[in-house]
């Protein structure tokens, strides 16, 4: 198995279920999950993907990734298995974020309720620059759902950095004002900056702005962040910037290598900023 273990992060080229199985109960302070959604299609692609769309990293393409070609039944079963592991691993003082679209959000919601993972909030991430609908047979999908859940039952001990979040004004978010409570609709453009794409891109790469916000809300400095589906490492980078030790799993070697490049690049930035202080 390929892996990179450092003081600041650990990334394993490994199935998340296998990797999580050997972790200790109650050893994680926060988990951010961006799992396969079952959103891929094996349909034929007839559109001109050479046309430039800003922030989509050059040639955009149909999501036909094999890891995302899942039936509803497969999504339900796999969501149950990895959420059951997370329930065991995440401390009651911590919490779990789960990204989803209409393909998997219903399953994830039901599984959380079956497992007794209380839903704290359901966030609608509004993407004002969402990818256009090319078939003209559907509305343009312009949001994703993000569930925030915790493992602690009625005691509700999960960490919420309420004051930081209330104080914050997020650049470009027209729905949040400084010193006002954050609502459950987030206006975050889906495009990525050049520095997020310098080593290549991942077909479902999230902008750092989203993961940074999750860390601001529920991060625990010095704690452990688990990223079961690491992809290109976005959530691990936010964890590093926030001061959490992240543990990630990724099954695709190309994305594993990309994540390592991105995280190490960010680590060198963080270190050079620390030297300046
Ligand atoms: C939705 S993407 C995550 C993208 C990530 N948020 C980013 O910004 O790059 C899901 C990733 O999970 C990986 N994956 C799929 N099944 C997995 C599994 N069982 N264990 C670990 N990784 C898996 C896929 O290869 C894919 O890179």
pLDDT tens-digit series, residues 91-129: 999 999 999 999 899 999 999 999 999 999 999 999 988
pTM: 0.91
Residue 108's pLDDT is 96
Task: Say which residue the tokens 């794409």 belong to.
Answer: 197
How far CA 135 is from CA of 44, 47, 49, 143, 240, in Å, comes to 12, 9, 14, 18, 40
The two structure tokens encoding residue 180: 């006002």
Task: Report the chain's mean pLDDT, rounded to a whole number.
Answer: 90
Residues of the chain with pLDDT under 50: 57-60
- Asked whether residue 8 is domain-assigned, the answer is no
Select from 19, 37, 146, 38 the least CA-distant residue to 86.
19
In this prediction, residue 129 carries a pLDDT of 83
Q: Quick check: is 270 in a domain? A: no
Residue 260 lies in a domain: no
Summarize the chain as % helix, strand, coil (round to 5): 35, 20, 45
Cβ < 6 A, ligand 1 pocket: 15-16, 34, 36, 67, 202, 204-206, 229, 231-232, 234-235, 249-252, 255
Total domain count, the chain: 1
Structure-block tokens of residue 135: 């078939």
Exposed, middle or buried: residue 29 (CB in 10 Å: 0-12, 13-18, 19+)? Answer: buried
The confidence score (pLDDT) of residue 60 equals 47
37: domain CATH number is: 3.40.50.150
Determine the pLDDT at residue 179: 98
Q: Quote the domain boundaries for residue 51.
A: 24-205
Q: Ligand 1 centroid vs 185 CA: distance in angstroms?
A: 25
The ligand 1 atom at the shortest distance from the C-alpha of residue 15 is: 20
Alpha helices (H) along 160-252:
162-167, 208-218, 234-242
């Amino acid at each position: 198995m390929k892996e990179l273990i450092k003081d600041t992060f650990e990334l394993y080229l490994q199935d998340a279920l296998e990797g999580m199985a050997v972790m200790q109960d109650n050893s994680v302070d926060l988990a951010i999950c961006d799992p396969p959604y079952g959103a891929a299609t094996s349909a034929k692609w007839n559109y001109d993907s050479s046309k430039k769309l800003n922030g989509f990293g050059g040639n955009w393409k149909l999501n036909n990734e094999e890891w995302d070609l899942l039936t509803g039944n497969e999504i339900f079963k796999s969501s149950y298995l990895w959420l059951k592991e997370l329930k065991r691993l995440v401390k009651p003082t911590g919490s779990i974020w789960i990204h989803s679209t209409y393909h998997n959000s219903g399953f994830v919601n039901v599984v959380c309720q079956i497992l007794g993972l209380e839903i704290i909030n359901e966030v609608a991430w509004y993407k004002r620059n969402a990818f256009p609908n090319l078939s003209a047979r559907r509305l343009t999908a312009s949001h994703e759902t993000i569930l925030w859940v915790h493992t602690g039952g009625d005691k509700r001990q999960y960490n919420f950095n309420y004051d930081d979040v209330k104080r914050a004004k997020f650049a470009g978010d027209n729905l949040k004002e400084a010193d006002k409570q954050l609502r459950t609709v987030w206006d975050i453009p889906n495009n990525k900056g050049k520095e997020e794409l310098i080593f290549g891109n991942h077909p479902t790469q999230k902008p750092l702005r989203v993961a940074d916000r999750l860390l601001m809300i529920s991060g625990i400095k010095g704690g452990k962040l688990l990223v079961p589906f690491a992809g290109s490492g976005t959530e691990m980078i936010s964890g590093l910037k926030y001061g959490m030790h992240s543990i990630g799993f990724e099954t695709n070697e190309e994305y594993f290598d990309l994540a390592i490049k991105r995280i190490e690049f960010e680590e060198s930035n963080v270190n050079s900023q620390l030297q300046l202080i």
